[in-house]
Structures are given as C-alpha cells and as structure tokens.
Amino acid sequence: MYTIASVEDSPLEYEALSKAIDRFNAENKVEIRLVHFKSAELFLSSFACNFDAIFLDIALPGISGMDLAKSIRKTDKDVTILFITSLAQFAINGYEVDAFDFIVKPIVYGDFEFKMKRLVRRLSTKESAKVVISTSAKQVAVSSSEIYFVEISGHTILYHTAHGDFEAYDSLRNVESKLGAYNFVKCNSCYLVNLAYVDGVEGFDLLLKDYRLAISHPKKKDFMKTLNAYYGRVGK
C-alpha cells in the first residue's frame, strides 16, 4: 500500500481526486490511501508523517503549493511531489523542487491514469541501493532509484541522476552487476537504463526523461520483453 498526502483546499476538487484514486485502485489492483490536508499550514504541522508521495495544489490560500514544495525540500529531498492544479503555466516551474509531474484540473481520467501508472512505477523503486560514485574530485553517494541511466564512453562511466551527472572510471559490466537487481537493463552496449524512468519507445528510440537513447537491433526483442514484464509487475 502507498500513502499519499493531498494538500487541497477545495472539497469538490478533493472529492474528484479521491474518486479517481478509487477507480485507479480498482482497475489496476493497487492500494493507494489518500490523507487530506485543507491547507499548507495543516500539512506542515503534521509533516512528521511518512508519505510515499505528496499531491499539491498550487493555488492554496496562505502558503502556496510551490512555496510549500520548497519548504518540504529543505527537510526531505526524496519524497515524490506531484502538482494537481489548474495553473499549468506555473506547474512547469516544478523543476525547481524536483517535482515528478503535474496533472491539470479538472481531472481527465485517461491522463490521470497514465501519470498514476508512472508514479506507481516510481514508488515501486523505493527498495533501492546506495551507490557510491568515485569521481576524480570526490565520492558521491546516490540512491539507485535516483539514477536515470548509466552511459559508458571508453573507460569512463557517466551516471545521469536526479542530482546531476557524475563521471567515474569503471566498466559497464561492473555497474550492471551492482544495479541489475534494481530494474536496470541494457538497451544497447552503451546504456544501462532504469526502467522506472522509461516514458515510452518509438521505433528504436527509448524515451527517458529528456533523452532519446538508441535501442540496438539485436537487443530490442529481449529489452521489450523485460520492459513489458516490468510494466506488468507495477500496474502498467
């Protein structure tokens, strides 16, 4: 079961969200529990609770949803934030607080379901490993769930992560031996990708975050089989 906080001042909007969650639970055989907060102030007074994700309305009275997200990030760098708002033009600034996504009000179930499936895939990776990356300047510890993909060029490994890119001297085979248990799969001989961040496949192009990564012809069949099996495990 996943527990998600919803910070929403409108009873009607919260009811619409709750009904969409109930339908999603029933159709996808998952269990998501919503905890409702009517204001940012009420949420902040209860933030000791452990939530898997937080849904924020941007246009909250008093402390706005964006300011609340910035406050949350001061103490929690990892919790997944998703904006549910009619102010889509402001939601694009979510990169400032590492927001996972946003849903535009009023909720349209098809779009909502697609983004919820991505969210469930993301949350399913919470069981993760700490990876210590030895760069030329320092050692950096990141969670495997925060690594988008790993790229090799010669003997240099480039980790693309939620905290930026880090270079290290290693082999992709060695990295794969460490990350393979956490849903990392090769799409070709140069890339080891985290399936939780895959947005789709177009021909031989893998869509992941803002990247298009090439899928090699020999690997495509096995890669798609693994990807589809992963989607099936997490409700895709």
pLDDT tier for residue 126 given thresholds of 50, 70 and 90: low
Q: Which residue has the tokens 């895709």?
A: 236
Over residues 182-194, the pLDDT tens digits come to 889 999 999 999 9
Mean pLDDT of the chain: 87
Nearest partner of 82 among 17, 129, 160, 165, judged by Cα: 17
pLDDT of residue 111: 93
**236 — pLDDT class (breaks 50, 70, 90):** very low
pLDDT band at 75 (very low <50, low <70, confident <90, very high): confident
Q: Output 105 or 77, whichever has higher pLDDT.
A: 105
- Which token pair is 181? 């248990």
Residues forming a β-bridge with 56: 7, 83
Angstrom distance (rounded) from CA 79 to CA 169: 30
pLDDT at res. 232: 67
- Three-state secondary structure of the chain: CEEEEEECCCHHHHHHHHHHHHHHHHHHCCCEEEEEECCHHHHHHCCCCCCCEEEECCCCCCCCHHHHHHHHHHHCCCCEEEEEECCHHHHHHHHHHCCCEEEECCCCHHHHHHHHHHHHHHHHHHCCCEEEEECCCCEEEEEHHHEEEEEEECCEEEEEECCEEEEEECCHHHHHHHHHHHCEEECCCCEEEEHHHEEEEECCEEEECCEEEECCHHHHHHHHHHHHHHHHHCCC
Q: Cis (ω within 30 of 0) for the bond into 106?
A: yes
CA 63 from chain centre, in angstroms, equals 25
What pLDDT band is residue 147 in, cutting at 50, 70 and 90? Answer: very high
* Residue 88 clears pLDDT 80, i.e. is over it: no
Q: What is the pLDDT, as a whole number, of residue 2?
A: 83
- Bridge partners of 207? 200, 212
Across residues 55-63, what is the average pLDDT? 93
**How far is CA 112 from each of CA 69, 118, 206, rounded to the nearest angstrom?**
21, 10, 23
Is the per-residue pLDDT at 124 higher than 60?
yes
pLDDT at 144 over 60: yes
CA–CA separation, 101 and 91 (whole Å): 8
pLDDT band for position 89 (50/70/90)? low
